Amino acid sequence: MSLPADVHERTGGQLVQRIIYSQEDIATRVAEMGREITDYYPKGEDLLVLGLLKGSFIFLADLAREIARPIHVDFLVASSYGSGTVSTGQVNLVYDPEASLTDRHVLLVEDIIDSGNTINRLVPMLEERGPKSLELCTLLHKRIAPPLAREARWVGFDAPPAFLIGYGLDHSENYRNLPFIASL
């Protein structure tokens, strides 16, 4: 896919190899996922959408607007990258959700599953809190992780093995604001 004219400005001149998913592709798939999630959960039951920050914030905002039912939103923060482009393998919890998970349907929203370290650390911790159900939704899945503690029920796109930026994904806290997903 060709690069938009303003990509040089948006990235501060950083080399973007190519756009992997356009803004239009993302919007279409997120709308589909929102409809699927709406249909999956029983009407009248509490749904907590739990975003894994920072990477999921744009995806979660767009997804939440596509879920046609009442929801509660909370966040947690975990980090496994630091300033590198490869997961360190060490998952650090920085912020724990304030909302109770007990007897609630919980949807954990992730930006990308690659090494699986974050999911494998968080899922058992969240299950201990007694949710009625716990499902995983991710925008991107690289399909390179060893078996996960929980497979994603909803996957936006199967991602290539490149380092990706944009639409919430960063490199050293840069590029989250790009409206598309690109390889760096």
User: Tens digit of pLDDT for each residue in 2-61?
Assistant: 555 555 555 555 567 789 999 999 999 999 999 999 999 999 998 999 999 999 999 999
Burial of 142 (0-12, 13-18, 19+ CB in 10 A): middle
Please name the residues in contact with 44: beta carbons below 8 A apart, sequence gap of 6 or more. none
The structural domain count of the chain equals: 1
Q: Within a domain: residue 17? A: no
Residue 149's domain comprises: 23-162
CB 83 within 8 A of CB 172: yes
Instruction: Look at residue 98 and tell me if it is in a domain.
Output: yes
pLDDT for 180: 95
Residue 71 lies in a domain: yes
Specify if 60 maps to a domain.
yes
The two beta strands, 92-95 and 72-79, are antiparallel
Q: What is the pLDDT of residues 130-177, one digit of tens each?
A: 999 999 999 999 998 888 989 999 999 999 999 999 999 998 888 999
Residue 181 included in any domain: no
Please give the positions annotated as active site.
114
Q: Is residue 38 situated within a structural domain?
A: yes
- pLDDT band of 86, cuts 50, 70, 90: low
Q: Return the CATH number at 41.
A: 3.40.50.2020
